[in-house]
């Protein structure tokens, strides 16, 4: 009798553990806050995306070790007007991407006025010219493709692909965190970094 009772209790306990685990997984997959969180689902919004993209572009354009152009200031910064998954990975298949809202584009361009003229473009080809058999960004510029802002409430990642010419491109993924009182800040990179 005792062994049968023990098996029933063990079975019920295992079932309860599985139900609890499934509920937690479902909650995390739905984007609901984790227990003890703020109570609001983590969602991307234009204000957050604008703040994150501003910091990512400021860091990338201002760090020659990461954009692979030491001692060079870009006269024009062209940014693709859509976020492309896998932008920071040279091996990723190029997708069409999701449009970056016009309000986010304006906010980023305005916030980076001190860095230089930033223009969002719909077509990569519109800013490329043939130079010595190589597609080169016109007017001494750089073409940047951003990935979507992915992650949680306080830590996100954004892939970046910067292109200047055939032998002038970089791919990397930035980690951006929300610092108390300081807003979003780039804290480093994650994963591989490639230079061509």
Q: List, as one string, the DSSP characters of 89-150.
A: -TTSPPP--EEPPHHHHHHHHHHTTTT--EEEES-GGGGEEEETTEEEEGGGEEEEEEPP-E
| pLDDT score for 1 | 45
pLDDT digits (tens, 9 = 90+) for 110-148: 999 999 899 999 999 999 999 888 999 999 899 999 999
The closest alpha carbon to 107, from 54, 149, 179, 61, belongs to: 54
Q: Is 46 exposed, middle or buried (0-12, 13-18, 19+ CB in 10 A)?
A: middle
pTM: 0.75
Q: Model confidence at 45, in pLDDT bands (50, 70, 90)?
A: low
């Amino acid at each position: 009798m005792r062994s049968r009772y023990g098996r029933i209790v063990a079975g019920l306990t295992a079932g309860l553990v599985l139900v609890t685990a499934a509920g937690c997984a479902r909650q995390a997959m739905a984007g609901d806050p984790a227990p003890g969180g703020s109570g609001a689902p983590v969602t991307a919004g234009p204000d957050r995306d604008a703040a994150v993209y501003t910091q990512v572009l400021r860091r990338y354009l201002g760090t020659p070790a990461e954009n692979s152009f030491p001692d060079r200031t870009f006269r024009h910064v062209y940014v693709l007007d859509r976020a492309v998954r896998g932008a920071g990975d040279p091996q990723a298949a190029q997708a069409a991407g999701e449009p970056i809202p016009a309000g986010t584009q304006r906010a980023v361009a305005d916030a980076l006025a001190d860095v230089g003229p930033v223009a969002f473009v719909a077509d990569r080809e519109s800013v490329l010219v043939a130079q010595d058999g190589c597609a080169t960004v016109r007017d001494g510029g750089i073409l940047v493709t951003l990935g979507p802002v992915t992650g949680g409430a306080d830590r996100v990642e954004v892939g970046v692909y910067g292109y200047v010419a055939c032998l002038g491109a970089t791919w990397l993924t930035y980690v951006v965190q929300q610092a108390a009182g300081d807003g979003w800040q780039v804290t480093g990179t994650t994963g591989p970094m490639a230079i061509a």
